[in-house]
Amino acid sequence: MSPTGRRRPSRRSGRSRILALLGTAALAVGGAVALPGTAQAANILGNNGFETGSLGPWSCTGNLGSVVSSPVHGGTKALAGAASASDNAKCSQTVAVQPNTTYTLSGWVRGSYAYLGVDGGGSTWTQSPSAYAQLTVKFTTGASQTSATVYTHGWYGQGTYYADDISLDGPGGSTDTQAPTAPTGLTSTAKTSSSVSLSWGAASDNVGVTGYDIYSGGSNKLLTVSGTSATVSGLSPSTAYSFTVKAHDAAGNSSPASNAVSVTTSAGSGGTTGFKQAAPYFYTGWGNPPSPSTVMSATGVKWFTMAFILSSGGCNPAWDGSRALTGGQDQTAINAIRAAGGDIVPSIGGWSGNKLGPNCSTPEALAGAYQKVIDAYGLKAIDVDIENTDEFENTVVQDRILNALKIVKANNPGLRTILTFGTSTTGPTSYGNRLIEQAKALNADIDVFTIMPFDFGGGNDMYGNTVNAAEGLKTKLKSVFGWDDTTAYAHIGISGMNGLSDQQETTTPAIWTQIKDWANSKHIARLAFWSVNRDRPCAGGGVAENCSGISQDNWQFTKITAGFTG
């Protein structure tokens, strides 16, 4: 939001973490005991350095693996696994091996709790978030074992890990070059405005099918599953998609594609049905913060937008960049809000400070940072306040934020995603237009696009300028997404500034009431303002942290905002 009174965050030291780690079972050997053979030093893994630019023949759980250009250990590519609170982003490859033979698995990993191991055998891990470290595991195959699955993974809720130059040294097993048959009878079993459920008949293989890959448009692999059904999430409403499925075996052979099935996602508000939010900004680190429960009791407001989540150094989220996510004054305020029957949406970013968008190197890493905030409070919605040259006017970071929001929305069913950004008096600026266009192009499925109609640099018709800016946003959303007026309004948010703005524009309680009434008449999704801390009178006080600079009653703007119902 506004730079008024914003402090740049100070770095904080990292907090210690304790994880309960399970040991791994030894590889079972059946039949008669025999001395193991000697492995010859020859790597038998495919795409071990990920230099092909794609994952195959590796497959990753939850569609959480990707190939990145940085950071790498060797060459120009590496694997990134975006571990979430519910998925450790396990990436594995199955290869043919010889029975009763000793193999050496080694690889370079980087991240908080990054693992290397073999299914049914040993594993090892390291905590190396800032540099690659080499891990090595030796194992001996069973007397009748002909395949082995090696893997790397992160740990739940610890963010993205990286792996590179993974090798399995030893003699290869028998060569399987026969591909599975094509899956049959692909059909859609259900759909929503943002997801499609699919099922198909099983493929067959001379050795055995180990998984199925779901594709969109014939070449874009969306996810890999082990069974004969899947749900593809993160789609756009009222949009046609074509899906096919291929089977693969342990040797990495891929079947022909199944029949194609075309599905158009449901029409509607793209997940925003019934989503209405009156949520003024509340900031515990600035401006003599009031008791939120006192404000709630006096005004009837239920939601607050909590400012601000920033980087405490690298891709690590913290309140104001300096206060731990849990256990401090911010959690105390959130607990009080929830105890009074309300809830919060965090504002991630803002005008100033060290932000996560530029500091997290990949969409997966940024999604991992967002996930930490979501998990800390079991959130129903998150808001990314994308501003300034480091995020809003940086096209690489714009796309990173959109892709990260797509990931967390897919991983958190029901989560609402909000983008907040500046505007001109007639609608989005060129960077705002690009943000909206990329949200469509990347299928980010953003629920609410919130504009900040103030600091225009001239003119003081705050009602007229706000309405004109919102109407311009509506027109852009209709053009890009093909929505009607009702659907476009249902994706719009307004976040104003009460009293005097940084550029001396004046929004009085009467004007804010007009804006609230217009917002209700158009049934938009969200109404907010900067900020509750400033929602107190100080006529002639100028632009201040703890008052509005105009004559008003205590919490008058908050009470007006509480009357927004959409």
Give the Å distances, CA to CA, from 552 to 290, 499, 548, 557: 17, 9, 8, 9
* Greater model confidence, 471 or 147: 471
387 is catalytic: yes
Share of the chain above pLDDT 90, in %: 64
Report, as an integer, the average pLDDT of 107-111. Answer: 95
H or E element that contains 480:
helix 462-481
DSSP-derived 3-state class of residue 439: helix
Question: Which of 139-143, 172-176, 478-482, 508-512 has maximum average pLDDT?
Answer: 508-512
C-alpha closest to that of 151 among 334, 261, 161? 161
Average pLDDT over every residue of 518-542: 94
Relative to beta strand 317-319, strand 184-191 is unpaired
Residues 69 and 53: their CA atoms lie apart, in Å, by 9
Q: Write b or e for each residue in 137-158: b if 16 or more Cβ atoms lie within 10 A of its Cβ, otherwise e.
A: bebbbbeebebbebbbbbbbbb
DSSP 179: P
Query: What is the per-residue pLDDT across 12-24, written as a single tens digit (0 to 9) for each?
Result: 222 222 223 323 3
Average pLDDT over residues 283-298: 94
One-character DSSP codes across 64-89: -EEEESSS-SSTT-EEEEEE-SS---
Mean local confidence (pLDDT), 507-521: 96
Question: What does the DSSP assignment read for 44-67?
Answer: --SSTT-TTSS-TT-EEGGG-EEE
**Per-residue pLDDT, 458:** 65
Task: Work out the average pLDDT over 378-385.
Answer: 96
Ranking 29-38, 119-128, 138-147, 441-450 by mean pLDDT, the lowest is 29-38
Q: Is the pLDDT of residue 251 over 80?
A: no
Question: How confident is the model at residue 175, as a pLDDT?
Answer: 65
Q: Within 13 Å of residue 97, how many CA atoms lie on the same side as its CB?
A: 32
Indicate if the pLDDT at residue 270 is higher than 60: no
Report the alpha-carbon distance of residue 199 to residue 60 in Å, rounded.
Answer: 20
For residue 330, what are its two tokens?
């911010």
Least confident of 192-201, 476-485, 514-523, 556-565: 192-201
Q: What is the pLDDT of residue 38?
A: 41
C-alpha to C-alpha distance for 122 and 103, rounded to whole angstroms:
12
Residue 6 confidence (pLDDT) above 50: no
Element (H, E) at 469: helix 462-481
Mean pLDDT of the chain: 87
Phi-psi group of 388: left, alpha or beta (phi > 0 → left; psi -120 to 50 → alpha; rest → beta): left
Kindly tell me if the per-residue pLDDT of 30 is higher than 50: no
User: What value does the mean pLDDT take over residues 417-425?
Assistant: 96
pLDDT at position 501 is: 92
* Sign, CA torsion 49/53/57/60: positive
- pLDDT above 60: residue 4: no
What does the pLDDT look like over 215-236, one tens digit per residue?
987 777 777 888 899 888 766 6
**Whole-number Å distance between alpha carbons of 468 and 134:** 58
Instruction: Considering only residues 482 and 280, tell me which one the structure prediction assigns the higher pLDDT.
Output: 280
Q: Residue range 407-425: average pLDDT?
A: 93
| Ranges of each domain in the chain | 20-175, 184-264, 277-562
Comparing 16-30, 87-101, 170-184, 262-276, the range with the smallest average pLDDT is: 16-30
- Do 154 and 69 form a contact (C-beta atoms < 8 A)? no
**Of the given ranges (39-53, 184-198, 284-298, 326-340), which has the lowest mean pLDDT?**
39-53
Full DSSP string of 282-346: EETTSS-PPPHHHHHHHH---EEEEEEEEESSSS-EEETTTB-SSSSHHHHHHHHHHHTT-EEEE
Mean pLDDT of 294-307: 96
Q: Which fold has domain 277-562?
A: TIM Barrel (3.20.20)
- Summarize the confidence of residues 243-272 as an average pLDDT: 79
Q: How remote is the C-alpha of 12 from its chain's centroid? A: 24
- What is the torsional sign of CA 345, 350, 356, 357? positive
Q: pLDDT digits over 323-356, tens only? A: 999 999 999 999 999 999 999 999 999 999 999 9
Determine contact, residues 136/150, Cβ cutoff 8 Å. no
The answer to whether the CB of 502 falls within 8 A of the CB of 549 is no
For the domain covering 20-175, report its CATH number: 2.60.120.260
Residue 364 pLDDT > 60, yes or no? yes
Q: Which of 364, 387, 391, 505 is catalytic?
A: 387
Query: In Å, how far are 204, 269, 423, 424 from 472, measured between CA atoms?
Result: 55, 18, 9, 9
Percent of the chain past pLDDT 70, that is, above it, reads 90
How far apart are the C-alpha atoms of 75 and 68, rounded to whole Å? Answer: 11
Report whether pLDDT(291) > 70.
yes
Select from 156, 118, 169 the least CA-distant residue to 20: 156
Domains 20-175 and 277-562 share a fold: no
Q: Which amino acid is at 365?
A: A
Per CATH, the architecture of 184-264 is what? Answer: Sandwich (2.60)
What is the pLDDT at residue 559? 96
Q: Which residue has the tokens 């950071």?
A: 71
Sequence-separated (6 or more) residues with CB below 8 Å from residue 6: 286, 308, 350, 351, 352, 353
Residue owning tokens 């989560």: 415
DSSP 374-437: HHHHT-SEEEEEE-IIIIIT-HHHHHHHHHHHHHHHHHSTT-EEEEEEE-BTTB--HHHHHHHH
